[in-house]
Structure 1
Amino acid sequence: MQHSAIAAGTPDFKRINRAMAFGGFSTFALLYCVQPLMPLLARDFGLTPAQSSLVLSLSTGTLAVALLASSVISDRFGRKPIMAASMLSGAVLTLAAAFSQDYAQLLALRALLGLLIAGMPAVAMAYLSEEIDGRSLGLAMGTYIGGSAFGGMLGRVIASFISDFYSWRVALAAMGLAGLYAAFEFWRSLPASRNFRPGARGVGALLGGLRTHLFDAGLPLLFSIAFLLMGAMVSMYNYIGYRLLAPPFSMRQSAVGALSVLYLLGIFSSVWAGRLADRLGRRNVLWMVMSVMLAGLLLTLLDNVWMIVAGMGLFTFGFFASHSVASSWVGRRAQAPQALASAIYLFLYYLGSSVVGWISGYLWSHGGWLGVVALLSAVLVVALLLALRLRSVPPLNPQEART
């Protein structure tokens, strides 16, 4: 029996928002806490910037691969158990990474973390699309992404400060303990699925679902946008630290890590953009918030630390707003199997993180920050053109027509 969808303001809606905030926090904190540690790893293990970026790129790469499998598994075993197991695994592996004996072992644990933590982001979008009333979906998705922004910010800041006063090992151990607590709160808070129905499974079902989503007129554009936006976002935060640690800025590690507090803008912008998209339509909002990203990126070319920080703030604001709008649009447009549509979106989202982030490392080594900005500007221009193309794609269903 189909249960009524959960609307904003109800007790269950508040419980879902609380759980998803913890889920987003844990996933992004554990995944990205190593980002400000990259210069320290390069120093301790004798690595180049591109080599040290593997500690993040490898995790996001294996996570991308695991997303498709996680969506299929959740169609069999349910949404909540997969998400909770994913969060617990990520916390345990982060604790283990703190005791790595060498860089190869650290990379192996981070690769495994990417594989096992995939269940949370792969299933969260599908859970919300199934359980939340369409008129409240933008707000719920924005809250989840806001929790992700907070996790990404706090994970970076905590890891950076602890490593500045102790070591990167102590920083990872602290993040692992925080992940265990988040997993407990998630399991305690999230209501069990009421509208989930076990779907067809197996390779045939997976291929059929891929065919449905990839031959849609609009979804491949949204999937491509995910690849480009996340690639740009990770590249910005991967390499801006190298620029600010070097002369003429010569900032401390903790000060550079503190710049991740700009992720707080993402908490606001993701919820704000979700509400705005619910009211004005996603096709009218997406291209505008992406333009803010591009403007912020160009500001970072200036040799003034305050203008660089302002540019990073605009860039971060625009990214989380864009991701909130695009991801909820996938939930509105996708036909069954919805979890697979969310997984494809996130597969390309994290693949962009790995591919563009890795390429940006080579451009940093050969062209400095100007080379990185040149690449990311091209990436964002292509994404903006795709968003403008989406404005002319006809709605697939009445629910999407209201976007």
Structure 2
Amino acid sequence: MDVESWTCKDVAKWLSTKGFGQYARQLCTNHTIDGQALLLLTEADLRSPPVSMKVLGDIKRLIRQIDLLKHQNGNNGQMSNGHAPTTTPVTAQTPDRQHTGEDQVDYPKRHLATRLEPEVFKTILSFIYVFAVFLLTAFVMTIVHDRVPDMEKYPPLPDIILDSVPLIPWAFKACELCGIILSVLCCLVLFLHKHRSIVVRRLFAITGTVFLLRCVTMFVTSLSVPGIHLQCSAKVYGTVWDKLVRALEIWSGLGMSLTGVHTCGDYMFSGHTSCITLANFFITEYSPRKFHILHTATWVINLFGIFFILAGHEHYTIDVFIAFYITSRLFLYYHTLANNRALWQGDSRVRVWFPMFSFFEANVDGIVPNEFEWPLPSLTKIMERISEGPVKRLKTKAR
């Protein structure tokens, strides 16, 4: 569709897809900017009354988007700021991204985010969310332990993989070692990432939602114990207080057998599979694309971790399969929507089904570039400022 034939509504939609939805009402409703008027807008028009945009970065980015629109529309005869066209040739290395050379390689045809405010308060809220979900998960695990089916009456269900793979006693601990390795690598990547607040917020949001779904699946159906070596039996914890104490034990031990936590009944779906899969996906998504060895290693560790779960006969194959599917799909759905604002902005259905996503990603207008920095110097400055206080007091007393 020719830009010059755009209506005010078309211009408003275009502004929203480019991350300028907050100006759609001002430009399109109040000043009836249609396609022809959009192509004639200059930086001076946006700065001065009656528009009077206040944010310099938004003015510059909007003018650049208009210049690119002129170029794509073949309007090279239009003037920008009263001079010859100022459009920049759109090549595989220069479309709307001048962050780092790596991003030019990583995303040659995608739109990188231009607004990357840390919004630490949202990250804190996401931490509170995942913290609360983990406590709820531990509490539900104590409830499902009360309902573990009697092993004599309900033997292990037929399972092709478990029936074919012999029991390896140390396999489940090996799986947890794989999880620890992936978690350390994931924390290292997040620690060094320049936009760590956004990435950590996404990790907490996705992890919390995955384990919230796990609470539901554990609670609604109790599967029989997958192996006779587990020797699980229903254990009633009595009062609510006893359940809370046991839930705190599970939570503090991260639900790992390496920390002495042993649970029964929490089979559908595998929490260990979800954790190592999420760690793998975040490492590969937020580390440089050229780190092929790292990405291959994380996938190998992920797959070995899943194998060790099955080899230890701690979960049915369906538990592991569903865990991997739900975790990977939720990760991909979340990032697909986050990286393409046009898919969800203005869509009320997304706000209804994913209200937390709409809140957390409201101010991120594209793909988060993989930029890295060493954060410790900033921490050093903070410590220096804190230590300056006592030093100044000592000097004052000496005088």
TM-score by length of 1: 0.28
**Higher alpha-carbon Rg:** 2
Q: Higher RCO, 1 or 2 (CA under 8 Å, sep at least 6)?
A: 1
